Chains A and B, each alone.
Chain A
Amino acid sequence: MEIPYEVTPRRDTGLFNSKIGIWLFLASEVMLFGGLFSAYVFLRVGIHEGIDNPWPERVQEPLLGAVNTVVLIASSVFVVLAWVGLKMRKWRTFQIYMSLVIGCALTFLVIKTREYQTKMVEHHGINLKDGSVIECEILSDNAKDPIEKRRAGWPAGFAGLFGHANGYSTLKVRFLAESVTLSLDSASLLFMDYAEKGELWPASTVGDRKIDGKSQWEDWFFPAKRDILAKLSEARSLRRDYVQREVLGKSRKLDQVLLDKDLPAVNVETKVTIKFDKPLKFNVPGSYRTASHTESSLSFVDGTQLAGALAEGGDMIEVLVHGMDLQRLPISQQMSAKAWSLIVDEHQREAAKMAYKEEQDKVVAEIRKHYPEGKFPSVEEEKHQLGSRRVNVLHIHLHDHADGEKHGESQEHAEPKKETGGEEKDPHAVSGGHANNEFILARIPRSEVLYASNHGPWYNTYYAIYFTMTGLHGLHVLGGALVLGYMLVFGKKLYLKNPEHLANRVEVGGLFWHFVDLVWIFLFPIMYLM
C-alpha cells in the first residue's frame, strides 16, 4: 500500500507526514523529560527538609560527562552531515557520517556504563552514626591482603549492576546462632535464606520435637502456624463478640467495656524458640532495613530473633578510604569526627586531618567574606547556615593529600601497585607509613554504621534521580542508534529506489537524535556541575 506524503509535502501543511509525526512525538518526549526535570527541581528545592539534606553538589568528576557531551554533539553534526550526503546523492558520504554517528552512540554508552559501574562497584558511602560519611571502596573479606581483597571484590561487585544486594555484599553481619525465636502469627521461615550454604534446615529441637531437613521443618512450621492462627482467631472472635454484645446490645460505652474483668483476653503464646543442635552460621546484610543486632542477638524486621554471638571479625568492615564527607557536622566538630579515628595508620590519619584542616580553613575564610563583620553564624546555626551550602570543598579526596608529597596528583583511580620482592605481605603494612601508602585503610565497627551502600540509585535522592534521568536518556541513545543503524545497514535498497525518501527518513531520525543531544545538554550541567 502506498502511504501518501512520505516524500512530497502535503499542500496544506507544507510538510511530509512523518515530519509532523516526529515533531508531535518530540513534543511528548519533552513532556516526559520535563516531568523528570520538574521532579529534579522538586527534590532539590525540598531537600532542606529531608533526610538527604544537604544535597550532594558536584559529587561527580565532570570529565567523563564532558567527554560524553562532546561525543553527542559530534554525533549531532555527523547525523546532519549524513543527511546532507543523501540530499547531495552521495551514498558514500552518508555511510561514513552515519557510521560515525553509530560509533559516537556506542562510545557514549560505553562511557556511561563505565560511570555506572564505578558508582556501583567501586564507590561506597558508609554513613556513621555521628553524621560523618566515609567515602570508600569496601574490600572483599575473603582475600588475605588489601590488594587481593580489592581485586576479589570485583566479581562480586559486578552483581551490583543488577541488584541492590551488592551494596551490602561485603557488609554482612556474620553471626553464630544457637537458637531462633519467632512469632508464629507473623513470621515466616525466610530468615533461613541468610544461613550459610550447606547449613540450611539443620537438626533442631522445638519443644520436645526434633526436626531435621527442610521437609521436617515445614511439616512442623505450617501446621503449627495454622494452629496458632486458629487459636488467635478464636480468642479474638470471643473478645469481639463480647464487645459487640455489651456495646450494641446493652448500649455501654466502648472504653468502659474494655475495662471489664469478664472481657475475654487474647492470651495466645505465639512465640516459639527453636534450638539448633549445633551453632548455625548466618550472613545477614547489615542494613537497618533488614536487621539489627547486638553482641548476642540479631533481629529481623518481622521480629524473628537469633540468639548467639557475633562471629569473629563479623562486626568489622574494612575499606579503602577515598574521602571524608563531613558536611553534616558543624565545622567546629569536623576534626573530631568519628570517621578519622577509624583510619588504621596513625601517620596517614594525621596527614589526612592536616590536609582537611588546611582545606577547611580556606573554606571558612572564603565564607567569612560573605558575612558582614561579627555576623558569622554561631556553632548552632553553622550546621544549617554553612553545612548545607558547603559541600564538596569540604569533601576532599584524601589520596591527593595523605602522602604529603603527591599533591595535585590524583590517585583515586590508580591501580594498586603490588610490592616487588615476592614476600608475603602483612595487611597492616599496606597502610603502614608514608613509604607505601597507596591505600588509606580504615576498619569500621558495624556498631558505628548508620547506613552503608554503594552509590547506586538507592544511596540517596541525588543518585535516585541521576540514575533515573541518565538511564532514560541512555535508553533513548540506544533506541536512536538502533534506528539510525538500521538505515545505515538496510538503507541502500531504498536509496536506489527513491533517495529522497531515505533522506526524509534520516531527517526524521536525525531530529530525534538532536533531541537526545538537547536533553543531554541540560542533563550535563544539572547532574555533574551543580
Chain B
Amino acid sequence: MSHGHEDHSSHIKEYWWVFAALMFFTGLTVAVWGWFDFGRPGFSAGDCVVGLLIACVKASLVGLIFMHLREERGLIYKILVFTFYFFAALMFLCLFALSDPIRPVFGVNL
C-alpha cells in the first residue's frame, strides 16, 4: 500500500463509519441475546446462527477495512486461503467425535 497523505486523511471518515457499524452490530448481538429469540425460547440453534453471522459481518469489516484486506497484495490472500482451509478442517475435526463408538462413561445422562 502506498497511499499519499491526502489518501490517508480521506480514509479517516471511513474508519469512523466502520466503528459506528461495529457498535451497531455489537448492540444487535446483545439484542439477539436479550430481546429476540429465534427458534425456541432461550438459547437455540437460531440464536447461534444469527449470533455467529453477525460476528462474521463484524469480523469482515475489521478484516477488510482496518486490516486493509480489500486492497492487499495477492501473496497475503494466498496465505489466508491456506489458513482458511486448515481452520475449516480444524472446525470439522470435532465432527469425527460424533462417530466415536465409545458410549457415555456414566451410562446415563445426569
The chain A residues found within 8 Å of chain B, CB to CB, are: 9, 13-15, 19-20, 23-24, 26-27, 30-31, 34-35, 37-39, 41-42, 45-46, 48-51, 53, 57-58, 62, 66, 69-70, 73-74, 76-77, 80-81, 84, 87-89, 131, 328, 363, 366-367, 370, 384, 388-393, 510-511, 514-515, 517-518, 521-522, 524-526, 528-530
Contact = CB atoms under 8 A, between A and B. Distances in A.
A517 B62 contact: yes
Contacts of B80: 23, 27
A77 B13 CA distance: 11
A507 to B, nearest CB: 8
Contact of B26 (A70, A89, A366, A367): A70
A486 B32 CA distance: 39
Interface in B23-39: 23, 26, 29-30, 32-34
17 contacts: A9-B2, A13-B73, A14-B73, A30-B83, A31-B86, A35-B90, A51-B110, A53-B110, A66-B26, A366-B41, A389-B40, A390-B42, A514-B62, A522-B52, A525-B52, A529-B43, A529-B47
A62 B97 contact: no
B66 A76 contact: yes
A14 B26 contact: no
A49 B8 contact: no
A374 to B, nearest CB: 19
Contact of B94 (A45, A53, A328, A391): A45
B83 A518 contact: no
Contacts of B67: 511, 514-515
Nearest to B51: A525
Contacts of B62: 73, 76, 514, 517-518, 521
A50 B67 CA distance: 41
Chain A: interface secondary structure?
helix
Contacts of A88: 5, 8-9
A162 to B, nearest CB: 31
Given A35-B90, A524-B29, 16 more contacts: A13-B75, A15-B76, A23-B80, A31-B90, A34-B91, A46-B97, A49-B104, A49-B109, A58-B33, A70-B26, A74-B19, A77-B19, A88-B9, A525-B29, A525-B52, A529-B43
By Cβ-Cβ distance, the 6 closest A-B pairs, closest first, are: A42-B94, A525-B51, A529-B33, A27-B83, A49-B104, A366-B41
A87 B4 CA distance: 8
B12 A81 contact: yes
Contact of A58 (B8, B43, B82): B43
A529 B66 contact: no
A77 B8 CA distance: 14
B12 A530 contact: no
B16 to A, nearest CB: 7
Given A57-B43, A530-B47, A49 B23 contact: no
Given A27-B80, A366-B41, A45 B75 contact: no
Interface string B66-101: 110000011110011011001100110110011000
Contacts of B82: 27
Given A15-B75, A27-B83, A53-B110, A66 B66 contact: no
Nearest to B52: A525
Contacts of B93: 38, 42
A53 B40 contact: no
A392 B73 CA distance: 47
B90 A69 contact: no
A321 to B, nearest CB: 22
Contacts of A76: 62, 66
Given A49-B103, A87-B3, A41 B76 contact: no
Nearest to A370: B40
B51 A529 contact: yes
Contacts of A30: 83, 87
Contacts of A42: 93-94, 97
A19 B66 CA distance: 15
A62 B27 CA distance: 11
Nearest to A27: B83
A529 B9 contact: no
A84 B9 CA distance: 7
A73 B58 CA distance: 10
A19 B19 CA distance: 24
A73 B29 contact: no
Contacts of B41: 363, 366-367, 393
Contacts of B55: 521-522, 524-525
| Residue with the greatest number of chain A CB neighbours at <10 A, chosen from B82, B98, B104 | B104
Contacts of B47: 529-530
Given A45-B98, A525-B51, A34 B87 contact: yes
B15 A522 contact: no
A411 to B, nearest CB: 20
B33 A514 contact: no
Contacts of B66: 76-77, 80, 510, 514, 517
B40 to A, nearest CB: 6
A62 B30 contact: yes
B26 A23 contact: no
Given A31-B87, A38-B91, A77 B18 contact: yes
